[in-house]
């Protein structure tokens, strides 16, 4: 099999990435992106299935006679953020942009597919999973519900995410908890609004809502063990009042982060108790909705060791690091880990704007590192002669 020219591959991946960046699509709307991915995979000689879980794509590549299969995953969706960048490849879709680097993730996995299809170096089957709708935690579940594991079986899965602030050519991950669960909540306070000059004549909800926002902060500081990680963040407070009218309805929305189901359950229990008690104290009613959107991402220890070994095959040894602590962001790659062991890693994106920022852009210098890491994982886990 022919060895690919690495610089030519990097140039090609850069062109793919910039094309995808210019044409971002929100979750479950990634029709152009999915068609782009499927066309490239077929050109590389892979078997391709489209429409998996809505707009997901799965490419399959088999070499040799090995009966083992592993999966590599990239996410394809963009965010509802208006881009502030001025680069030639900036978003052409108003109000939507690749502010999390999924254009880079997709391009790196395409690069790995082309590299492995041309060079081989493994014995078995690789599933290249291009997932929709990661940002709102529905894409992995949609693919699983559409029979991903039954139609395209695999024994383990690997994924990666770019990380601004970590230098290009650097890599980090850790065993065990890596990223947190995300729970969402909405608390609706209902009373009786009225004239701002006569608060005693009604049951206004704004003061109750303000008290409740403060009271919710005691869940982590006073109700959870200091040994447990938990975050309770109120992100919205919405009322139906106006300048001279007191509100009769207030909505409090936010999210919670944790790494254990027991902590999630404790946060919900305390939130309900505090919301109902505060509402009673202010003579209003409370309705609480609590949902679990993302589960914790827990890396398999043995596969973390394999990922470190693969990273050292393609990166300088001083660029491979053990992450000091888990982070309280969330990632629905975790849904796959409910079914098979896996490992999720972070690769440097250099000195760029933060993720989910309107000035963010993926640094193309990292593309080849990601493609080569994916390929190294495959060659270790499906080693010739094993």
SS3 call for 60 = strand
100 marked among binding-site residues: yes
134 marked among binding-site residues: no
Nearest to 271 by CA among 185, 182, 181: 185
Largest CA distance in the chain: 83
161 marked among binding-site residues: yes
Question: β-pairing, 69-75 with 47-52?
Answer: unpaired
DSSP state of 79: B
Q: How far is CA 171 from CA 17, 135, 327, 379, in A?
A: 20, 22, 15, 18
The DSSP annotation for 198-265 comes to -GGGSB-SHHHHHHHHHHHTHIIIIIS-TTS-EEEEEEEEEES-BTTEE-SEEEEEEEEEESSHHHHH
339 marked among binding-site residues: no
66, two tokens: 């090995």
DSSP state of 101: S
135 marked among binding-site residues: yes
Known binding residues for Mn(2+) are: 100, 102, 135, 161, 356
Q: Which residues are annotated as a binding site?
A: 100, 102, 135, 161, 356
């Amino acid at each position: 099999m022919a060895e690919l020219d690495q610089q030519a591959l990097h140039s090609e991946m850069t062109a793919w990435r910039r094309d995808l960046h210019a044409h971002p699509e929100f979750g479950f709307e990634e029709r152009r992106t999915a068609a782009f991915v499927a066309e490239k995979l077929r050109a590389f000689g892979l078997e391709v299935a489209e429409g998996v879980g809505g707009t997901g794509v799965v490419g399959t590549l088999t070499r040799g006679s090995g009966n083992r299969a592993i999966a590599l995953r990239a996410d394809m969706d963009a965010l509802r953020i208006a881009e502030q960048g001025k680069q030639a490849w900036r978003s052409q879709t108003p109000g939507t942009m690749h502010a999390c680097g999924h254009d880079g993730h997709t391009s790196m996995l395409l690069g790995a597919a082309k590299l492995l299809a041309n060079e081989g170096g493994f014995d078995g089957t690789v599933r290249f999973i291009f997932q929709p709708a990661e940002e709102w935690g529905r894409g992995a579940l949609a693919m699983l519900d559409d029979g991903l594991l039954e139609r395209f079986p695999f024994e383990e899965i690997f994924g990666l995410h770019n990380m601004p602030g970590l230098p290009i050519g650097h890599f980090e991950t850790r065993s065990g908890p890596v990223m947190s669960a995300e729970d969402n909540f909405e608390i609706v306070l209902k009373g009786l609004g009225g004239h701002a000059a006569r608060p005693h004549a009604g049951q206004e909800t704004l003061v109750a809502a303000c008290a409740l926002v403060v009271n919710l902060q005691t869940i982590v500081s006073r109700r959870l063990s200091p040994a447990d990680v938990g975050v309770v963040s109120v992100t919205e407070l919405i009322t139906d009042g106006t300048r001279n009218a007191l509100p009769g309805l207030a909505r409090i929305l936010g999210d919670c982060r944790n790494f254990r189901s027991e902590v999630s359950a404790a946060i919900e229990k305390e939130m309900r108790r505090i919301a109902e008690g505060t509402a009673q104290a202010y003579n209003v009613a409370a309705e609480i909705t609590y949902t679990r959107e993302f589960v914790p991402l827990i890396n398999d220890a043995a596969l973390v060791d394999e990922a470190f070994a693969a990273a050292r095959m393609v990166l300088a040894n001083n660029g491979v690091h053990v992450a000091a602590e888990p982070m309280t962001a969330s990632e629905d790659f975790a849904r796959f880990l409910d079914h098979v062991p896996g490992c999720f890693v972070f690769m440097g994106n250099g000195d760029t704007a933060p993720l989910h920022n309107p000035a963010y852009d993926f640094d193309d210098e990292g593309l080849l590192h990601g493609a080569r890491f994916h390929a190294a994982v495959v060659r270790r886990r499906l080693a010739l002669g094993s």
